[in-house]
Structure 1
Amino acid sequence: MSATEELTARLRGTVLPAVLTPMDTAGSVDLRALRRYAERIAAERVGGVAVWAHTGRGLYLAPTDRRHVMTVWRDVLDVPVVAGAGVPRSERAATLPTAEDATVAMAVEAAGLGADAVMVYPMARYDGLPDGVDRAVALHERVAAESGLPVLGFFLHAGAGGYAYPPELVRRLLALPSTTGIKIATLDRAVDCQDAVRAAQGSGRLVVTGEDRMFGPSLMWGADTALVGIAAARVGLTAAVLDAWSAGDAGAFLRASDRLDRFAEATFLAPIEGYVRRMMWAAVWEGIIPEEAAHDPYGPPLPDAERHAVVACLEALATADEGAAV
């Protein structure tokens, strides 16, 4: 069995939180807070974690901070670590070949630091190019060849700097021997999500949902694994939905999906880039990140009313849990 096949089997049916990166207001990583947070996540029942992902602002971290982040997670966890690799969408001035080279270099760096797989961010500038599909496939092949790691394709919605992978691209990526699966994060575009899932089915590779606002439906459409930002603060809430679906327990699935949907409604809303800050607020309420390290300098400012809404949702869910336990 190849390394890609082994990783695929190990991750299937599990939750991988796209973890946060505790930072101060200036964007400096709080390493003490990061270690405590990593230890709390490691104590949960996770199949792995995704670092340098969108939720952790991985593409914006300074190289030294990026290395520190990977080192902490690799030191704390004994489950697979998937590392994001790409360039920020703000780097418009970089030529496309330069951006491709930077993505490959980041993947090679992740391999050197002990990552188990690489999640390749989509190049939004491929969208509309006559050879966009060919270039995307070639990039994934380069990442795998130069890093030596299994690769997870990343179908990301345009609002976060991605683009809609056509079914042909999904099928071609999953036909590569180095590809462990495809992560689908279309936000609210149900048809795009369904098309990608359908294109992936029958490949034997992971169909990974990143659909925080369509989590339950994405499982019903065929996703079998989860890599989501919503699990950055609420692993148990997320895992309960996947576990109930996998067990075929319809009643438990509906109840768990309802609870997760209520939390997603309070955290994944316009402006969507604000979700990282909202997840930070949730992590503070959960007691897994301290207030002074719960900042997202790369997202939009949000009114206090939004924090009150996140906290009110968490308190309501906690009250419901207490009532159910009586």
Structure 2
Amino acid sequence: MSATENLVRRLRGAVLPAVATPMDPRGVVDLDALRGYAQRIAAERIGGVAVWAHTGRGLHLSEPDRQQVLSIWREAVEGSIVAGVGVPRSVRPTTLREAVFATVTMAVRAAEGGADAVMVYPLAQLDGDDDEALRLHESVAAESGLPVLGFFLHGEAGGYPYPPSLIRRLLNLPSAAGIKLATLDRAMACQDAIRAAEESGKLVVTGEDRMFGPSLMWGADSALVGIAAARVGLTSAVLDAWRAGDHGAFVRASGRLDRFAEATFLAPIEGYVQRMLWAAVWEGLLPESAAFDPYGPGLAAGERLVVVDCLEGLAKEPD
């Protein structure tokens, strides 16, 4: 069995939290807080974690910080680690070739640090060129030696939509483990992508925090989501109930998770990282001093109250 086939087998039906990176207001990573956070997340029933993803501000971190983050998670987690790879914000590529080189370099560093797979951020420099997108994924896989996940990322987070034809071509690559969907609120685009991916037999990974339950009903079979950076148990409960065919439990768990998503994934959408950090503090996963997102928009104090009120309300309800 190839590494890609083995990864698909391990991750089908699993939740991978797209974990946050504890920082102070200046963007200094709090390694002690990260170790405690990693231990708490690793104790949950997960298939692994996604590091360097959008929730963890992976493209904003320095190379030494990225390596320390990966090392801490590698020590804590027995399951699979998927690393997001793309163009770090410190790099200013002017050509597609430079952007591909930066992405491949990040993938190689992920492999050296012990990642099991990489999730390839869409590159703005591709400008809708499907042939170049295919070559990007082939280069990442060849140079890193790791299975790859394609990443259909909504535009608000710097991505662009992959047409179904490109998804089919990507998933025909032997190194492709699946496609990760984060279309935000584009139901038809999500459905079309799932239909294209289902034909491959590869992973259909939902990253649809705001359409989590529906995306499972449409055909997603695993999850890599930022909403699980704090609410791991509830996220897992939705996926488990759906796969078990327990529709009553699925409706209840999905409704609870959707109420939390409604309080955290809203405009400005980039504020969801800070909202998840506030939730992680409420959950006892992070200290207050390490719950800052210096790369997101400023949020009013009232927004935190909305998140906390939602969590307190959910805590009073039976599971």
| Contact map agreement 1:274 1:302 (CA 8 A) in 2 | yes
Match in the other structure for 2:23: 23
- Partners of 2:258 and 2:125 lie apart in 1 by 32
Q: Any idea what the Cα deviations from partners look like across 1:139-158, whole Å, max 9, x if unmatched?
A: 00000000000001100000
Q: 1:316 aligns with which of 292, 313, 317?
A: 313
- Residue 82 of structure 2 aligns to a residue whose secondary structure is strand
| Alignment TM-score, normalising by the size of structure 1 | 0.96
Aligned to 1:177: 174
**3-state secondary structure, aligned to 2:184:** coil
Report SS of the residue matched to 1:180: strand
Residue identity in the other structure for 1:116: D
Q: How does 1:1-326 map to 2 (within 5 A)?
A: 1-88=1-88, 94-128=94-128, 132-321=129-318
Question: What is the DSSP-based 3-state SS (H/G/I as helix, E as strand, rest coil) of the residue aligned with 1:98?
Answer: helix
Is the CA contact 1:15–1:47 (under 8 Å) kept in the aligned structure 2?
A: yes
Gaps in structure 2 of 5+ consecutive residues: none
Equivalent pairs, count: 319
Query: 1:89–1:161: 8 Å Cα contact kept in structure 2?
Result: no
* Deviation, structure 1 residue 51: 0.1
Secondary structure, counterpart of 1:60 in structure 2: coil
For 1:237 and 1:225, the matched residues in 2 are separated by 14
Partners of 2:60 and 2:89 within 8 A in 1: no
**Is 1:241–1:253's contact at 8 Å kept on the other side of the alignment?**
yes
Query: Alpha-carbon deviations, 1:145-186, whole Å to 9, x = none?
Result: 000000011000000000000001100000000000000000
Q: Helix, strand or coil for the counterpart of 1:108?
A: helix
After alignment, is 88-97 or 53-62 more displaced? 88-97
Displacement of 1:96 = 1.8
The superposition leaves residues 126-150 of structure 1 with CA deviations (integer Å, 9 ceiling, x where unpaired) of 234xxx1000000000000000000
Q: Is the contact made by 1:124 and 1:158 (CA closer than 8 Å) also made in structure 2? A: no
Equivalent position SS for 2:59: helix
> What SS is found at the alignment partner of 2:178?
strand
Runs of 4+ in structure 1 over 4 Å off: 88-93
Contact kept? 2:95, 2:125, Cα under 8 Å: no
Q: CA deviation at 1:95?
A: 2.0
- State the alpha-carbon separation in 2 of the partners of residues 84 and 165 from structure 1: 17
Q: How far apart are 1:88 and its partner, in Å? A: 4.9
Counterparts of 1:156 and 1:101, CA distance in 2? 20
**In structure 2, do the counterparts of structure 1 residues 283 and 254 end up closer, same or farther at CA, with 3 Å as the change threshold?**
same
Deviations 1:192-239 (A, max 9, x none): 100100000121100000000000000000000000000000000100
Q: State TM-score, norm by structure 2.
A: 0.98
Tell me, which stretches of 5 or more residues in structure 1 are unaligned?
A: none
1:14–1:47 Cα contact (<8 Å) kept: yes
Distance 2:88 2:40 in 1: 29
What secondary structure is seen at the aligned counterpart in 2 of 1:56? coil
Structure 1 residue matching 2:317: 3-state secondary structure: helix
Offset, 1:123: 1.1
Three-state SS of the structure 2 residue aligned to 1:59 is coil
Could you tell me how far apart the structure 1 residues matched to 2:307 and 2:113 are?
35
The question of whether the paired residues in 1 share the 8 Å contact of 2:150 and 2:180 is answered with: yes
Preserved contact between residue 18 and residue 232 of structure 1 (Cα < 8 Å)? yes
Residue type of the alignment partner of 2:265: F
1:310 offset after TM fit, Å? 0.1
Q: Matches of 1:301 and 1:218 in 2, distance apart? A: 30
Q: CA RMSD in A?
A: 1.1
8 Å contact kept, 1:122–1:154: yes
Per-residue deviation at 1:87? 1.5
Cα distance in structure 1, aligned partners of 2:193 and 2:122: 14
Encode CA deviations 1:289-324: one digit per residue, 9 max, x unaligned: 000000000000000110000000000000113xx6
CA distance in 1, matches of 2:93, 2:173: 31
